[in-house]
Structure formats: structure tokens, C-alpha cells
């Protein structure tokens, strides 16, 4: 059994074996946010975990899980998990820029992933689990570059940073059962997160929070 199929099987068991018919989220289907909010796209491995991490931040309005990098036709969990579709498991973070800046979101993201892993994140390996930051404007790109350059000079680990920095592409919502998974299935979620070694590796890289 190859690693992609094995990892997909593990995630399926944790999710309770749930599958829903493929539903493609068009741009105008994605939840709108008010005029005072902005959005940011991040990929940090399992979107359940990144969604949970960002929703703890003051100034963040909402976080939704989805897919970005590939086509609308391939934007569903089963296809992304079994195939190299170009998609990342990602989250869209809607936030109030008067309460938290884009740069602060980027800084927070770094410290909740393993930016040294070229093959995925923690126990999840494969192209869809790689880490990435997607920029939608020149100002976002500048904020990422400044943060990355500072991080390279101050990082508490010796390995190189390999997180992808790329222009944003269309974002497609993941299936309903993935949204707020950590709230809907807290026991299964904690079991998965602990078993995957996410928090242990983050502490190893960045130290205690």
C-alpha cells in the first residue's frame, strides 16, 4: 500500500468513514465577509488542525477548510487524497485588519507548522499536505518576504525553511463534515492530532508556547 493510500485510510477512520457527494464551491458560494474584513490563505498539513489553531486568535472572524492550487473538478477530499492534483489542504482565514495584521497572521502560522519538512506535515506525507503561504497582493507578498527573511536569521533550528510561497489561486470549500471538525468530533480530533505528533514536533522546533 503506498503512503498516500495509507494516510487517506487513517484519516478516513478518524473521520468516521464519512463521505459526501462531491460539491464544488464556486467563488460566489464561499462565505462572504463584511467590508471591514480581509482574507488570507495558508496550508499547513491537515486543515482540521490549522483551522483549530487560527480560530484561537483574537481578530480572526472565521476559518474555513478547503483546497487550493488545483482545478475545481479535483477539489474533493477523496480525489485530493488519492492523487497528485496540485491541491493543498488549506484554510481561508477571515480576519479584522484593525484587530490583527496580515503580518501577525504569518508570524503565527510559522510557529504552528514544521516549515522544514519538504514532504508534508508531521505524520501526513504527500503533496497535498505540504506547507504554503498564498499571497493575494503585493503588500501580502512583501509582508511574507520580510517575515521569512527575519525568520531565517532568527530561527531556533538549523534546518532550512522549505515552505512554499505562491500567488493565490481559487479556493474551494471542503466538504461540510470537514468544517469545524475539531468541534464536532473532539475526541477523534484529539486522538488524531496527538497520534500525528503535531504539537510535539512544533514544541521541538519552536520551544514551549
Q: Cα(188)–Cα(100) distance, rounded to whole angstroms?
A: 31
Domains and CATH numbers, the chain: 22-206 (3.30.1060.10)
Q: Tell me: the pLDDT tens digits for 46-65?
A: 999 999 999 999 999 999 99
Listed in sequence order, the residues at least 6 apart from 73 whose beta carbon sits closer than 8 Å to its beta carbon are 24
**Mean pLDDT taken over the chain:** 88
The residues with which 62 forms a beta bridge, in sequence order, are: 94
* Average confidence (pLDDT) over 84-102: 97
- Catalytic site residue 46? yes
* pLDDT for position 35: 64
Indicate whether 29 pLDDT > 60: no
Q: Cα(109)–Cα(29) distance, rounded to whole angstroms?
A: 26
Give how far the C-alpha of residue 2 lies from the chain's centroid of Cα atoms, to the nearest Å: 23
Indicate whether 40 pLDDT > 90: yes
Q: Cα(190)–Cα(209) distance, rounded to whole angstroms?
A: 19
Percentage, residues of the chain above pLDDT 90: 82
* pLDDT for position 13: 44
* pLDDT for position 55: 98
Q: Pick the closest to residue 106 from 117, 93, 118 (CA basis).
A: 93
Q: Cα(98)–Cα(116) distance, rounded to whole angstroms?
A: 32
pLDDT interval class at 26 (50, 70, 90): very low
pLDDT interval class at 28 (50, 70, 90): very low
Q: Tell me: the pLDDT tens digits for 151-206?
A: 999 999 999 999 999 999 999 999 999 999 999 999 999 999 999 999 999 999 99
Indicate whether 39 pLDDT > 90: yes
Indicate whether 15 pLDDT > 60: no
What values do phi and psi take at 27, rounded to 5?
A: -55, -40
Please say whether the beta carbons of 128 and 88 come within 8 A: yes
Please say whether the beta carbons of 197 and 122 come within 8 A: yes
pLDDT interval class at 208 (50, 70, 90): confident
* pLDDT for position 106: 98
* pLDDT for position 36: 82
- Let me know the angle formed at the C-alpha of 116 by 202 and 3, rounded to the nearest 5 degrees: 90
Amino acid at each position: 500500500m503506498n503512503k498516500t493510500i495509507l494516510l487517506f485510510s487513517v484519516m478516513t477512520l478518524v473521520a468516521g468513514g464519512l463521505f459526501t457527494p462531491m460539491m464544488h464551491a464556486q467563488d460566489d458560494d464561499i462565505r462572504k465577509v463584511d467590508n471591514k474584513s480581509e482574507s488570507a490563505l495558508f496550508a499547513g498539513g491537515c486543515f482540521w488542525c490549522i483551522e483549530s489553531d487560527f480560530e484561537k486568535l483574537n481578530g480572526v472572524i472565521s476559518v474555513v477548510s478547503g483546497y487550493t492550487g488545483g482545478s475545481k473538478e479535483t477539489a474533493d477530499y477523496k480525489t485530493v487524497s488519492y492523487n497528485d492534483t496540485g491541491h493543498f489542504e488549506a484554510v481561508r482565514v477571515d480576519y479584522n485588519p484593525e484587530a490583527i495584521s496580515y503580518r501577525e497572521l504569518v508570524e503565527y502560522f510559522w510557529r504552528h507548522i514544521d516549515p522544514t519538512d519538504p514532504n508534508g506535515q508531521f505524520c501526513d506525507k504527500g503533496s497535498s499536505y505540504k506547507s504554503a503561504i498564498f499571497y493575494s497582493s503585493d503588500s501580502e507578498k512583501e509582508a511574507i518576504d520580510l517575515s521569512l527573511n527575519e525568520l531565517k536569521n532568527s530561527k531556533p533550528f538549523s534546518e532550512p525553511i522549505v515552505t512554499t510561497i505562491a500567488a493565490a489561486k481559487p479556493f474551494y470549500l471542503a466538504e461540510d463534515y470537514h468544517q469545524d471538525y475539531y468541534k464536532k468530533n473532539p475526541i477523534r480530533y484529539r486522538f488524531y492530532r496527538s497520534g500525528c505528533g503535531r504539537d510535539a514536533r512544533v514544541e521541538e522546533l519552536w520551544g514551549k508556547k
